[in-house]
Structure 1
Amino acid sequence: MLKVSQRGQDMPVSPFRKLAPYAEAARQQGKIVYPLNIGQPDIETPAAAMAAMRTADVRVLGYSHGAGTESYRHKLAAYYQRANLPVKFEDIIVTTGGSEAILFALLTCLNPGDEIIIPEPFYGTYTAFAIAAGVTIVPVTARIEDGFALPPLADFERVITPRTRAVLICNPSNPTGYVYSRAELESILGLCQVHQLYLLSDEAYREFCYDAPYVSALQLPGAGPYVVVLDTISKRYSACGARIGALVTLNKEVYTAAFRFAQMRVSPPGLGMLLAEAAADLPESYFDESKAEYLARRDLTVARLQAMPGVVCPRPGGAFYVLAHLPVDDSETFGQWLLESFSYENQTLMLSPANGFYHTPGLGRQEVRIAYVLNRTDLAAALTCLEHALRGYPGRTMPQSAAALEIAAPLPV
């Protein structure tokens, strides 16, 4: 009897796309659905980058070097150097999005059956990459009460075994928006040095830190042998569809092995690298406008959520996500109800249930990730829908008397 592989059976549904069929059905009914479920920015991709791709004099779109074109790697190295990362073009492997960088890092640094420690909640797709690589995720739980700060080192020490090979962090964090401080990064690197573990650092949101300067794990003293940076232009330049990422490491053994995986898929996307190379030429001031816009969206989102009865929402320091606790029985049930049974002025919204961002069963059941990637007018409208929905949801967990009082109060628009 034909049967798909065990890894195929174990592969999870995307945590930020699992409600998409319900959203499609809602739109077919004529509802406006605000997509706060996925990190797809509505900020325009830089015009200069788009023009470089459109006007390129390319007669044959051929393979590039397996690590990416040398011209792009030189410009990307210059970008990292401006950000105070000690990177040369020979330290960079251009990948098909940040996703491929993550997969290459797992395939390079860990064997099947090895363990990787990841603070949870974490980017849900890490689970899929771990399954593909035959790697076991060992979670260490960050708490919403602490704003999702790095858990105590003792929690990491407690789960280290002879099979532990690496620690994976996302900084700033997807899904929480938490930004690790230099002290936190130094402590986790110190742990890796003591136990001889790799530190895989997903830095996709580097440009979007709002309350403190960004620190890369690769900037820390002694980072060279241990740190592998995973990167992408998807969020930096609002170019998700270009599918251009990077694996960056000063460890030559890691680089050589990862390059063999890169050769296996021949080369990264040629047109995407043309766009990325032009984007890398943009001045530092390019980020001023997009960063200010995301900051304004963060402040709007957090202020509105914190004003909703029963909602707990830490203020994220970076990226463009919040992870909030809602007064609902089950966030996935609530998310489906929003799309199937609720509308306010013929509008509703799509969220990401947070259970898909936790590895420990049962966690995140009352939490959601909200991506504040829409313009502020639409974002405010979506949050107004959420406020109305929380008051009318049959599975709300607020005390009935308090809920009744809130329903009687007028809602801001």
Structure 2
Amino acid sequence: MPNISNKGMKMPESPIRKLVPYAEDAKKRGTKVYHLNIGQPDIKTPEVALNAVRNAEIEVLEYSRSEGSEEYRTKLANYYKNRGIEVDANEIIITTGGSEALLFTLGTVADYGDEIIIPEPFYANYNGFATASGLNVVPVISSIENNFALPPIEEFEKLISDKTKAILICNPGNPTGYLYSKEEIKKLAQIAIKHNLFIIADEVYREFAYDGAEHYSILQEEGLEDYAIMIDSVSKRYSMCGARIGCLVSRNKKVMQTAMKFAQARLSPPTFAQIASEAALDTPQSYFDEVIEEYVERRDLLISELQKIEGVKVAKPKGAFYCIAELPVENADDFAQWLLEKFDLNGETIMVAPAAGFYSSDNVGLNQVRIAYVLKKENLVKAAQILNEALKAYNA
């Protein structure tokens, strides 16, 4: 038979989704599975967004513009201005999820064999996007010991070469929940300017900042007009993961002109989902206040329950809705599969995401898992109890 491409062979599996077949088998056996592995919120999608689709009077479902509808981009620009980010509608390209925005960005700023620096652990699909784009990820390692804070600037500068094109961050972070401070963003800005690099900031969790902290966007930093590219999405903000609407935002005209070519090549983002996303911008602040309060309560409860488990170490997130937990096991991949294949507590088990897939360095994070606290509080308590008993049985 014909050979598969080397690029395809190197494409990594998703640590978030690769265990799905084992979870499905567990459910067929009658085992209830608590999904802690994926950032699918159980918060209700704003009714205003759903009604916009229900009430849309469309006779022909046409293509939209490649950059997204002007109405949506104009309204989205106003949303950003209300949050201290001055951009125009022509500085926004609507994409099919934040994933497509990242692919467009990597294709715009780097060529085959170029390098991109990413603090790790990072969103697992960055590895896949880099592989698909023919790029090499150069990791700078952060540690659970200091809650995955930004590594010293010197560590970044040691890694910069003539092939380095960009630094990519996720703020707040997936999988760590780390929220970059204004001072840290300024340090990254200095590196970008000094070494003539792009700064790509994945800010899809911007609304989820806790404990009185404020999110500081890369686009709020002055002097980065030619360097900053922001990635955003409606998936988490409005609990609209299935809409698959994101965007790429930059004041750099060459970046936008080039990214537009990629947008044209894939024709257009989905029309109905843009209608829903535009309507979602009318969601009242009270919705976010309630959601953030709920996530803070879930975070605090989960961290408290995990800290009670012998041998478990956990970093406290300041944003998003994930945390990294270090377990008293040698191989979290094996443990996560065992949970689904061979363990249950009163007919229930849990599904976690092994954290090694959130690193690009070899043999790092092997005993860590990412936990998404997107379940109701009573279910998080049950999940922690299951984890506690599972670790006892696994290590017996």
Deviations 1:339-375 (A, max 9, x none): 1111111100000000000100000100000000111
1:120, 1:264 → 2: CA distance? 32
Amino acid in the other structure paired with 1:95: T
> Aligned residue for 2:366?
365
The equivalent residue for 1:124 is 124
**Separation (CA, whole Å) in 2 of partners of 1:166 and 1:206:** 21
Judge conservation of contact 2:98–2:247 (CA < 8 Å) in 1: yes
- What is the aligned partner in structure 2 of residue 316 from structure 1? 317
Q: Residue 153 of structure 2 aligns with which residue?
A: 153
Matches of 2:381 and 2:77, distance apart in 1: 39
Note the alpha carbon deviations across 1:201-233, whole angstroms, 9 max, x for none: 000100000020111011011121111000100
Mark the runs of 5 or more structure 2 residues left unpaired by the alignment: none
Q: Does 1:57 align with 2:57?
A: yes
Aligned 1:68-217 pairs, distance under 5 A: 68-211=68-211, 212-217=213-218
Partner of 1:353: 354
Percent identity, aligned pairs only, is 51
Letter in 1 for 2:371: I
Deviation >2 Å, runs of 4+: 283-286
1: CA distance between counterparts of 2:146 and 2:23? Answer: 33
The answer to whether the Cα contact below 8 Å between 2:48 and 2:282 also exists between their aligned partners in 1 is: no
State the distance in 2 between where 1:144 and 1:264 align.
41
What is the CA distance between 1:323 and its match in structure 2? Answer: 0.4
Structure 1 residue runs of 5 or longer lacking an equivalent are 396-413
Q: Which residue of 2 aligns with 1:279?
A: 280
CA distance in 2 between partners of 1:392 and 1:187 (Å): 46
Secondary structure at the residue paired with 2:285?
coil
Q: State the aligned residue count.
A: 395
Counterpart contact for 2:198–2:227, Cα < 8 Å? yes
Task: Supply the RMSD in Å over aligned alpha carbons.
Answer: 0.9
Which residue in 2 is equivalent to 1:339? Answer: 340
Tell whether the 8 Å contact from 1:217 to 1:227 is kept in structure 2 after alignment.
yes
Letter in 2 for 1:11: M
Distance (Å, rounded) in 2 between the aligned partners of 1:390 and 1:86 = 50
Q: What per-residue deviation string (whole Å, max 9, x for no partner) do you get for residues 141-168 of structure 1?
A: 0011111000111111111110001000
Given residue 159 of structure 1, which amino acid in structure 2 is its aligned partner? Answer: L
CA drift of 1:308 comes to 1.1
Match of 2:4 in 1: 4
Q: More displaced, 40-49 or 374-383? A: 374-383
Paired letter, 1:128:
G
Give secondary structure in 2 for the equivalent of 1:57: coil
SS of residue matched to 2:128: helix
Indicate the SS of the match to 2:151. Answer: coil
Instruction: Give the deviation of 1:11 after TM superposition.
Output: 0.7
CA contact under 8 A between 2:37 and 2:370: conserved in structure 1?
A: yes
Q: Judge conservation of contact 2:197–2:227 (CA < 8 Å) in 1.
A: yes
Three-state SS of the structure 2 residue aligned to 1:250 is coil
Alpha-carbon deviations, 1:238-269, whole Å to 9, x = none? Answer: 00000000000010110000011101011101
